[in-house]
Structures are given as C-alpha cells and as structure tokens.
Amino acid sequence: MEIFIPEIINGALRHFPSRYELVRVAAIRANSLFRGDKPLISNSFASAHKNTIVSLMEIKEGLWKKK
C-alpha cells in the first residue's frame, strides 16, 4: 500500500491551528503506540507503517483528538 506523506500531514493539519501543535500531539500518540497501545486504524495499515505515520493518519481521520 503506497501512501503520500504530504497528503496525510495536510489532512492532519486541518485539526490544529499550528503545525507545532500537530507535532506535539502526534509525538504523544506515536509514543503511546510504541508503548503498546492498540492502533485506532486498520491493523493492516498499522503493521505496514511506522508509529509516526500511524499517529498522523489517526489524527487525519479524526480518530485521535488533542488532550
């Protein structure tokens, strides 16, 4: 499955007022995935990509919100 990274980032940026906030929240989510949290998107996508991409995709799809 091929993904286009800028599309994921631009989609995720729609949920935040600044890219710095997006980076902060995506890093928190990627860290929680690294520690063992279950991904909120399909397992086939999550197993094929790194935690940073998975966290950005979850944010883009609206599955992960700012806490």
Give the start-to-end residue ranges of the domains of the chain.
5-60
> What residues contact residue 29 under an 8 Å CB cut-off, 6+ apart?
55, 58, 59, 64
Q: What is the pLDDT of residue 3?
A: 77
Does pLDDT of 59 surpass 90?
yes
Does pLDDT of 41 surpass 90?
yes
- From the CB of residue 16, how many other CB atoms can be counted at a distance below 10 Å? 16
Does pLDDT of 60 surpass 60?
yes
Reported as a pLDDT band with limits 50, 70 and 90, residue 11 is very high
Report the candidate in 21, 12, 13, 8 with the shortest Cα–Cα distance to residue 49: 8
Q: What is the pLDDT of residue 65?
A: 78
Reported as a pLDDT band with limits 50, 70 and 90, residue 1 is low
Report the candidate in 67, 30, 15, 18 with the shortest Cα–Cα distance to residue 40: 30
